[in-house]
Amino acid sequence: MKSLIVYFSHRHENYVNGNIVELEKGNTQVIANQIHEMIESNIFEIEPLHEYPVHYHDCTELAKKELETQARPKVKNIIPHFEHYQKIYLGFPNWWSTMPMCVWTFLESYDFDGKDIYPFVTHEGSGFGKSIQDLKMLIPYANIHQGLAIYGHQVQDSFKQIQKWVGDSNGNNKKAKQYHNKMFPGYESKLLETDPEFITLFDNFAFDEIINHDDLDDYTRHIAILAMLIGCQGIDEYKAMLKAAYQFQVTPVEMKEIVYQATAYLGIGRVFPFLHATNEFLVSQGISLPLEKQAQTNRENRLEKGNQAQIDIFGPAMDGYYKSGEAEIQHIRYWLTDHCFGDYYTRNGLDYRHRELITFCFLTAQGGCEAQLSSHIQANIRLGNDKSFLIQVLSHCIPFIGFPRTLNALKCVQKA
């Protein structure tokens, strides 16, 4: 449904920054036109039957008199099918601390009950004055939303502010914004300028609808998101989400361990850029590299420790797995034990539960490894990451890896 923009604006002489200047277009009209370009809307100018005087002082005198006598100057035009509009952007200049009286006439001429009103005002210092109070008195059953007040002489430089306000009125959800601010304190996405509609949809989904669907904690969510982003090769988003993860107490050691372990599941060909991105981020935070050592095994005991890790994670049936299978593939099983489990899983920095969680994320996000995914789902469940927890994790990763890979993983979880 289209919105309606209704405004009154007085062109000709006006008071700007202490001087009287001739305006070709009224200040309020400039904003009304900008809003009109931003959203699907019809625009309507309130035109008084008798125009206000061209000269500033004559105009202020008449306006004052109209206010004092509570005049209702006639408006010459009417809005067709007013009842069809739900959302109305109402713009006016501040005249003697309230709305010009022709706007009062306008407000009394239509039924505003239940309508959503977004007021905007231009002024030279008094903001809305008492106009919101008057508005509430004149149309008591309308929903009057947060307004926008702009200095008249700044209307040409206020595009961003207007865009943001219009974005908010169009569904930029408060909760999504709050969460975004928690992840990236003080940062405004550039996409709000270039792709306001898209980013609003995305943020509302990712940072309100999903976040508030369950109680998965921020720390775990961000570990999973980093691992999923490596799994799906989302390097630019990974760089952005490292900052958020850091805000939610994912430590530098944990970030590094996620990347290192990913190498066993994605190969260095796919992990290399993530390693560099993580290093760049940590250095930008003043953290010196290398980080402290986390290895718990050495060349001599990695096979034995890896074997033990497999037993601890998958169960006693895994004992001696590295010696099993046909001779021609045994060396690969051996490497799985001494390298993947002996070198990576045994490291400090992440416990088995979190290591299995990130493996679940690597496998889910890269797709096409459902066989391995299913056995790691079993391992996750053994370690306490039960089915409902894994479903929660998958739900939170949908915006980052999309629906199809999520649904494939979901099937594996449900079958487990």
Ligand X SMILES: Cc1cc2nc3c(=O)[nH]c(=O)nc-3n(C[C@H](O)[C@H](O)[C@H](O)COP(=O)(O)O)c2cc1C
The binding site for ligand X (CB under 6 A) comprises: 9-10, 14-15, 23, 26-29, 59-60, 63, 93-97, 122-126, 152
- Among 133, 145, 137, 205, which Cα is nearest to 169's? 145
Distance of closest approach, residue 130 Cβ to ligand X, in angstroms: 10
Whether the CB-CB separation of 150 and 26 falls below 8 Å is answered with: no
- Name the residue with tokens 């923009």: 5
Q: How many CB atoms within 10 Å of residue 130? A: 14
Q: Which is nearer to ligand X, 29 or 308 (CB)?
A: 29
Distance of closest approach, residue 141 Cβ to ligand X, in angstroms: 27
Q: Which is nearer to ligand X, 26 or 196 (CB)?
A: 26
- Name the residue with tokens 């760049």: 280
Q: Which is nearer to ligand X, 60 or 109 (CB)?
A: 60
Distance of closest approach, residue 23 Cβ to ligand X, in angstroms: 6
Torsion sign over Cα 175, 180, 181, 186 = negative
Whether the CB-CB separation of 342 and 305 falls below 8 Å is answered with: yes
235-238 contacts, C-beta under 8 A, 24 or more apart: 235/273, 235/274, 235/277, 237/400, 238/274, 238/277
Distance of closest approach, residue 170 Cβ to ligand X, in angstroms: 23
Distance of closest approach, residue 126 Cβ to ligand X, in angstroms: 3
Q: Which is nearer to ligand X, 6 or 63 (CB)?
A: 63
Q: Which is nearer to ligand X, 63 or 271 (CB)?
A: 63
Distance of closest approach, residue 118 Cβ to ligand X, in angstroms: 17
Q: Which is nearer to ligand X, 21 or 289 (CB)?
A: 21
Angle between helices 387-401 and 403-415 (to 10 degrees): 170
Q: Which is nearer to ligand X, 18 or 80 (CB)?
A: 18
Distance of closest approach, residue 88 Cβ to ligand X, in angstroms: 18
- 95 CB-near residues (< 8 Å, 6+ apart): 60, 63, 67
Torsion, CA 322, CA 328, CA 332, CA 338, rounded to 10 = 40
Q: Which is nearer to ligand X, 29 or 310 (CB)?
A: 29
- Among 384, 372, 284, 286, which Cα is nearest to 336's? 372
Q: Which is nearer to ligand X, 16 or 275 (CB)?
A: 16
What distance lies between CA 151 and its chain's CA centroid? 29
Distance of closest approach, residue 159 Cβ to ligand X, in angstroms: 16
Q: Closest residue (Cβ) to ligand X?
A: 152
Distance of closest approach, residue 21 Cβ to ligand X, in angstroms: 10
Torsion, CA 410, CA 412, CA 414, CA 416, rounded to 10 = -150
What are the beta bridge partners of residue 41?
3
Distance of closest approach, residue 19 Cβ to ligand X, in angstroms: 11
Q: Which is nearer to ligand X, 10 or 180 (CB)?
A: 10
- Name the residue with tokens 């007085």: 10
Q: Which is nearer to ligand X, 127 or 367 (CB)?
A: 127
Torsion sign over Cα 254, 256, 261, 266 = positive
Distance of closest approach, residue 15 Cβ to ligand X, in angstroms: 5
Q: How many CA atoms lie within 13 A of 163 on its CB side?
A: 17
Q: What length does the chain have?
A: 416
DSSP string computed for 308-362: HHHHHHH-GGGTTGGG-S-HHHHHHHHHIIIIIIIIIITSSSS-HHHHHHHHHHH
Calculate Rg over the CA atoms of the chain.
Answer: 31
CA 377/CA 414 separation, integer angstroms: 10
The maximal CA–CA distance of the chain, rounded, in angstroms, is 102
